[in-house]
Structure 1
Amino acid sequence: MVYTKNVFVIESKSAPDIKEPSETRKRFIDCSFGFRHVQCLLLFLCLTVAYTMRVNISVAIVTMTDNSENPDFEEFDWDGGVKSILLSSFIWGYTVTQIPAGPLARKFGPKMCLFVGMLISGLLNLLTPIAARGGWEFVCALRAIEGFFQGVFFSCVHALLAKWAPQEERARLGTFCYAGCQMGTVIMMGLSGVFTSSGLGWPGIFYFSGGIGIIWCAIWLWLGANSPAQCHRISSEEREMIEHSLALKEINGVQQEVSPLKTVVFSIPFLALILTHTASVFENWMLLTEIPAYLKGVMGMDMKTNALFSALPYLGMLIMSFVFVLINNFIVSRNYFSLGARRKTFNTISQWLPAIFLIALGYITQDNSAAAMIALILTVSLTSAKYLGFMVNHIDLSPTYAGILMGLANFIAQVVALLGPLIVGQIVIDNTDLEQWRIIFWITAAFLFVGNLAFVAFGKVHPI
């Protein structure tokens, strides 16, 4: 690598070799299960566990403030304002570490950042039931600290994908890793009703999340690695294939330029990416924290039924994420669309279609609860197309700074997402009032429309 005229240049010393993949690369890409897949499985499990921790308060708070279904456990007199603060407190801490997340991953390595973040998050979850008895302020503090340590997760995952995923597999492996977000949501929302009605009660929700987090840490410390070069378990063939792909993926005989970070950050494509990223995060947090309240208030569902139906949209999202991967692979194999067209098409599916179903949801009454559930499932399921849209675009724009770009974009997105639960707390005074929820759904749909419009108009898929 050399530095010339404010531009880093990676020189290709064997450019002719990359026009046709070697037989080793073809074999690994097409059929071999390698250690890169082990890393992606661990990242999938990391995000699964992380999301059980993020979601647990939104399902637990229903029975923490109304123990009629299991009176053996303490009930807390927290009004709507307090509940909104508790639901948004995770994002406070989470937002703080978004910008330093990328530099921290580069300095200490994403492996260690993920380990420390998960370990502390697990311990804080185990302490949450004790904190609740001391007052909602203690729960709020624990959630904020937990968010602080989980704020590095997405940047670390992006940084690891940039090192471990060959370009030919980036969409596939990236989608698999981030599908852990939906798996964690499904697990927590699905099991919460079981926990709350059992002898463990609502504290069992936090004990489960914290316990599996600590187990994951032990496995990650044993098998995780920052890159193929630092991994002792990977075969030499697989390491050579990955490093060859990542070093020369854009070249084909031409030098690859790596623009300075400042140039990338202030580029129009990255600013458009921030806007669509923000819209997606706003929708995600709004639905993630408020679906249980909507189902109980408007649809009149009890906790056990509520937990099951709250999980269904995220189960649909998990399934659809892999369906979209298959569709993408088919399109690529037939060479129907360019990479840019695919990114924008999938992103449109993930934002404009959910916006339509969200608006429809605001007009469906309790008498048509089946239609409401279908609209809700479609709203959430279709957002999984984002993993083939904007979610990997940070790596497209700059593989070198992918973790930093994710951290910066996620910081801005989380600041706006802080408004989600707070807006709901101000507008939805009565959880049973459909008209109040309708306003929330229209606001969210507007975010999605503007965000995707910017991405379609100004998005770019090649390094800046």
Structure 2
Amino acid sequence: MSEGGQKKRWGMVFALFVAFVLCNLDKVNMSVAIVPMAESFGWTATQKGLVASAFFWGYSFTQIPGGWLASKYGGKSVLFWGVVLWSFGTLIAPWCAALGMPWLLASRFLVGLGEGVAPSAATGVLAKGVPPSQRSKAVTTAFGGLDVGSLTGLLIAPPIIFYLGGWAAVFYLFGVLGFIWGAWWFASFMNDSSTDMKEAPLAAGAKKGLSIPWAAFFRNPQFWALTVAHFTWNYFSYGLLAWLPSFLASAMGVTLSKSSFLSILPYLSTVIVTATIAPLAGKLEADKTLTRTQIRKGSQTLCFGVGAVMLTAIGLIVNATPVAAVTNQTIAIVIGLLSVTFGFAAFIRTGLFCGHQDLSPKYASIMLGVTNTAAAIASTLSTFFTGLFLSMTGGNWAYSLFFPIAVLQLVSVFVFLIWKSDPVDFDA
């Protein structure tokens, strides 16, 4: 490909990166805005959990259909309409909130529907537009937008709320940004095939009516290990994404702006560690210091094992420290433990998220759609049940948020011990 074609290709990858930044901006906005919204509308903890979980109802619904739509109509078109849909749901959220809870839940459901097609659509775009020699870099760059989106949202949402017209401004601004991205994508990439490679074997097979061996998936122990790990990952990651600002404000007694700033630090540790683990894992495998199976098992053990210990410690600290007794040292310890948790969570990139490709490159995207459906259900359960447990326990954050995640992580560590990275012929 010419130099101009390469620039076009990486411009497209950058556009995907921006799409995923917007993707998590529109998740995080509710995590921050829900604090003043709850005060304004008088919501209980259960109602807050309901609002936080509504996104994942839609997100769960479009995981597998998103892959089918992308294969039928092309990832570029599906991603465009997904971004437009979730941006529309974001934009109308303030008006829906004024109309009542059912309308607000419907708007968040629309956001989830739109975002649910994004992973499969972007994977289709990258598979068709990026050669294997550049795919690792492209995938890391594009999906890295998720972490940047979380960091950016937690950083800029509080100033927007305080200085640009209240909590509604977050939804208006982020919604408009999505439509701007859509116009850019439509004009520059959506109908441009200049970056596309020749038809990939998998894509060609799909057009001929690829028969998916569903029964073989569900009979395979490694597939179930991936499913359990993915379920646990989302229960952990989205539960904390949705509730961390509220936890810091409620249990640690910090202001909304300070709680959002402190929430950034754990995610920053994830970004930093992510930049180091991929080359480390590659070197260990290339030097034959560890086998691929050992790297996957070790990564998952570090990800969830360290997390379980750290979250248990946080729960014990919270239980032993009433809000009135919280000091700056207490806050520093909790944030430090959370940062260690999220730092080691980055090992998920060389564990779970490499597992689908290890088992079957042919069916990796389909298996990801299935395990991500289970993961999306976990996200719904985590956000909703945390609020429900808070109501049932009188606001006990240890038993509502931290201990349940720690138990799931320990179970997942032991389940993943059955993992083998040997390729599986699911068509046999």
TM-score, reference length from structure 2: 0.86
Q: How far apart are the structure 1 equivalents of 2:74 and 2:418?
A: 35
- Aligned residue in 2 for 1:282: 235
**Structure-2 residue corresponding to 1:11:** none
Instruction: Name the CA distance, whole Å, in 1 between partners of 2:124 and 2:363.
Output: 8
1:311-362 deviation line (CA, Å, top 9, x unaligned): 2211221222112223234435534333333233222222221121111111
Overall identity of the aligned pairs, in %: 27
Separation (CA, whole Å) in 2 of partners of 1:60 and 1:386: 29
**Quick one: which amino acid aligns to residue 56 of structure 1?**
N
Larger % of helix: which?
2
Contact kept, 8 Å, 1:272 with 1:459, in 2: the verdict is no
Q: C-alpha displacement at 1:151, in angstroms?
A: 1.1
For residue 51 of structure 2, what is the aligned residue in structure 1? Answer: 86
Structure 1 position 294 matched with structure 2 position 255: no
Is 1:192–2:157 an aligned residue pair? yes
Question: Is the Cα–Cα contact under 8 Å of residues 230 and 372 in structure 2 kept in the other structure?
Answer: yes
> How much has 1:399 moved relative to structure 2?
2.8
Per the alignment, residue 107 of structure 1 pairs with: 72
Which residue, out of 373, 376, 401, partners 1:414?
Answer: 376
- Tell me the secondary structure at the aligned position of residue 148 of structure 1: helix
> Are 1:352 and 2:305 an aligned pair?
yes
Corresponding position of 1:337: 290
Deviates more, 1:159-168 or 1:80-89: 159-168
Asked if structure 1 preserves the Cα contact closer than 8 Å seen for 2:297 and 2:419, the reply is no
Pairwise CA distance, 1:398: 2.9
- Asked whether 1:64 is paired with 2:37, we answer yes
Q: Does 1:44 align with 2:5?
A: no
Match of 2:193 in 1: 231
State the 1:285 CA deviation.
Answer: 1.5
**Secondary structure of the equivalent of 1:362?**
helix
Q: Residue in 1 aligned with 2:362?
A: 400
Would you say how many aligned residue pairs link Structure 1 and Structure 2?
Answer: 407
Tell me how far apart the structure 2 counterparts of residues 348 and 454 of structure 1 sit (CA, whole Å): 10
- Please tell me whether residue 391 in structure 1 is matched to residue 391 in structure 2: no
What RMSD in Å do the two structures reach over aligned CA positions? 2.9
From the superposition, tell whether residues 264 and 103 of structure 1 become closer, same or farther in structure 2 (CA, over 3 Å). Answer: farther
Contact 1:293-1:431 within 8 A present in 2 as well: no
1 CA distance for matches of 2:54 and 2:145? 22
**Aligned pair in 2 of structure 1 residues 317, 461: CA closer, same or farther (>3 Å)?**
farther
Name the SS for the 1:361 alignment partner.
helix
Q: Match for residue 388 of structure 2? A: 426
Quick one: distance in 2 between partners of 1:432 and 1:59? Answer: 22
Q: Distance in 2 between matches of 1:198 and 1:432?
A: 33
Farther-moved stretch of structure 1 (328-337 vs 173-182): 328-337
Q: What amino acid is aligned across from residue 379 of structure 2 in structure 1?
A: A
Q: In the alignment, residue 447 of structure 1 is paired with which amino acid?
A: L
Please give the residue correspondences for 1:197-208 in structure 2 after superposition, counting only pairs within 5 Å. 197-208=162-173
Q: 1:391 to 1:461 in 2, by over 3 A?
A: farther
Q: Quote the residue 2:418 is aligned against.
A: 457
Distance 1:462 1:418 in 2: 32
Determine whether 1:261 maps to 2:213: yes
| Mapped partners of 1:51, 1:460: distance in 2 | 31
The AA in structure 2 aligned to 1:150 is E
Partner SS, residue 103 of structure 1: helix
Going from structure 1 to structure 2, the CA distance change for 1:89 and 1:96 (only over 3 Å counts) comes to: same
Whichever residue aligns with residue 313 of structure 2, its letter is A
Q: Which moved more, 1:294-303 or 1:133-142?
A: 133-142
Distance 1:356 1:175 in 2: 28
The residue that corresponds to 2:124 in the other structure is 159
Residue 139 of structure 1 deviates from its aligned partner by: 0.9
SS at match of 2:361: coil
**2:284 alignment partner AA:** I
Q: What CA distance in whole angstroms lies between the structure 1 residues aligned with 2:225 and 2:101? A: 38
Shift of the 199–149 alpha-carbon distance from structure 1 to 2, 3 Å rule, reads closer
Q: How far is 1:374 from its partner?
A: 0.4
Deviation per CA, 1:67-118: give whole Å up to 9, x if none.
Answer: xxxxxxxx22222221111010001111111222221111111111111010
Structure 1 gap segments, 5+ residues each: 1-23, 67-74, 248-257
Q: Counterparts of 1:171 and 1:432 in 2: how far apart (Å)?
A: 47
TM-score, normalised on structure 1? 0.80
Q: Is the 8 A contact 2:297 2:417 kept in 1?
A: yes
**Equivalent residues of 1:103, 1:404 under 8 A apart:** no
Query: Partners in 1 of 2:235 and 2:32 — Cα distance?
Result: 19
1:420-447: per-residue Cα shift (whole Å, max 9, x none)? 12221222239995x5424531211121
2:308–2:409 CA contact under 8 A, matched in 1: yes
Is 2:262 the partner of 1:320?
A: no
C-alpha contact (below 8 Å) 2:247/2:397 kept by paired residues: no
Work out the CA distance in 1 between the residues paired with 2:243 and 2:136: 30
Larger radius of gyration: 1
State the one-letter code of the partner of 1:399: P
